[in-house]
Structure formats: C-alpha cells, structure tokens
Amino acid sequence: MREPSEAASCKEALLCCGREGEDLADWLRGHPEVQVICRDRASGYAEGARVGAPQAQQVADRYHLWANLGQAVEKSVNAHRSRLAEPAPGDAAEQLEVEPTVVHSQKELKIVARLREQHAAARELWEQGMSKAAIGRKLGLHQATVRKLVNARSADDVVAKSLQRAHIVDPYVGHLHRRWNEGVRNATQLYREIQQLGYPGGELAVQRHLRRYRTGRGHAPAVGPKPPSVRDATSWIMTHPEHLRDEDADKLHRLRERDAELDRLTSHVRKFATMMTGLHGDRLEDWIADAEQDSLAPLASFARNLRRDLDAVRNGLTLPYSSGAVEGNVNRLKMLKRQMFGRANLDLLRKRVLLAR
C-alpha cells in the first residue's frame, strides 16, 4: 500500500481531471497501480473512482469533512441568531415591557408651535374668502395640509393628531427594544412583528423609531454589548477549546448556558473532532445516529449525507491518508491568483508561484 504522501497525489489527479467522473475514471484506468484514492465527497469523484479503479480504497478527506460540518454548524447557528445576544437584566427587561412615558423633545415643541401658527394663518385667510389652493400658495403649504388645517375645529386638534402620528409606535417600543437587544435589526421584520400585535401604523414610522437606536439619539434603549455575529459564534464552536481566547471561551460558555440546542450542537462538534483527530472511525455510526435524532436540522442533514458515502467517510476517520498538504497548496495558489488579479500578466504570476514554494 502506498505511503500517505503518495496516496495524497491521487488528489492531484482529481484536480487535473476536473469534476467529471468519466474523466477521472479514464485517468485511473491508465494508472492501475493506484491503491488509495483520497477525495472529497462529490458524487462524480466517487463514481469515477469506483469505475476506474475498483481495486482502490476510497478515503473521504478529513479537510472536506470538517468543512462540510462547519457549513452545517453555521446554518444551525444562523437559525438561532436571535438568541446570540446577552439577555438584558431582569429589572430592565421588565421595564421595557411597560408603556413608556412620552417625552417631547425640543424639536417636537418647535413643531407644535409651527402647527399653531399655520393653523391660525390658514383659518384667517379662509375666513377672508381665499381658496385652499390660494392659501397653500401663499403659505407655501401642500393643499392637503391646508385642508387639514382649515377643517380642524381648533389648533389643539391639529397638534393632537400630529403628535399621535409621531408617537404611534410608543405602545410597541417594549417589543422593539427587546428584539433589538436580541440582535434583530431589520426594520421590515420588526414592523411585521408589531403589526401582528395590533400596530396600526406604517413601516416608515418604525424605521424612524429604529433610526434612533442606530445613531444613539433620542429614546434609544440602553443596550448591552453588541451580539456576536453568526460567523463568530460558529468559529467558537468549531475551535478546539484549548485554542480559544479566554474571552471567547467565556462567551461560548454563556451562550451554551442560555441555549440548550447550541449546547448540544457544540457537544456534537467536539465529539466529531475527537473522532477525526484520534482516527476513531469505529465511532462514526453512533455519532451519525445521535446527530440524526437531534432537532438541529442542518446537523441531521449532514449526518444523513454521511451515510451515502459511509465506507469512504469511515476510512477517512480511520486511516492516516489526507489531502491536507495538497489543499494547502491549492489555497496558496488561489491567494496568489487573487492578489495578482488585474495587476500583472501570467509570466509574473508564474514567477511568484515558483518563488513562493
């Protein structure tokens, strides 16, 4: 049987042949000495290896297994993104649920004064027999605004209706504050949520209210630390506990305490990591069964897909063969290509590739 380094060269053959199983099968027929094929789990590779080299042992590469698991973890974390934020203190949380006291800012007081002046001027011109269109032109107001001013019984009615529209979101700020602190920042989503609670206004008022939170002005709630991103939380779960910074380890610990599903997700990942690094392929079927029975849909889907390539995956978690060295070179080449894109010709790229070895 070939040494691990020689077996890894079969990955180079896969790269040369592209992702078509027939091309790979043709190449393998010309190399009957191949005994081990280390590959990712693309169906084309699996079929090409089976047809072109039935004598060879197929090994699912650990690099790709870990990458596939990472994708499932990120999807699972994304489904729990509203739970990533630290909860507000109990007394603060209770305070957010009560209807807030309306506080008129200096800007609002100026609006009130302007409305009273406009109402008085419009009523005076109307009583003089001037048309609404003429009043609008004289005062520089839209005709609809003139109609509201003229039809109002008093200036107080105009002010009340204006302030009512300005504070129409107020009965729902408790919900908005709580969801904002949970990491939900999409105005359309929040608008739909309070609409289900009976909010009668439009989305624009919600956007204006949330603008205070984004800019830190007005009645923005006292928020805690910024919630971790989905990518950050995924990284904490996928990183070996001994390699986590103390700060990140503490955040992950608190996250696991708050969310039972993310706690189980972390446990599944660490068991898979132990199985992979320790080459305990005999534990694979038990791990798949546990993951399939969990309520974490992306992880269960990943586990079910492992069954479709079970022998190769078990070999990958048991045998010493790996494409890691080749994948490292591929990543290096991709980095150089991106650095050079649009800046130099192929000759210079070739020199960089050769000199960077």
Predicted TM-score (pTM) above 0.75: no
pLDDT, one tens digit per residue, over 115-135 is: 788 888 988 998 899 999 999
Among left, alpha and beta (phi > 0; psi -120 to 50; other), residue 319 is beta
Domain map of the chain by residue range? 66-82+228-316, 99-215, 324-357
Angle (CA) 345-354-37 rounded to 5° is 110
Note the helical H segments in 223-323. Answer: 230-238, 246-258, 260-277, 284-293, 297-307, 310-316
pLDDT, one tens digit per residue, over 330-356 is: 888 888 888 887 777 888 888 888 887
Give all strands (DSSP E) within 85-222, no chain letters.
none
Model pLDDT, residue 218? 47
Angle (CA) 126-127-132 rounded to 5° is 15
Helix (H, G, I), strand (E, B) or coil at 254: helix
Model pLDDT, residue 342? 75
Stretches in the chain below the pLDDT threshold 70: 1-19, 87-112, 159-168, 216-226, 357
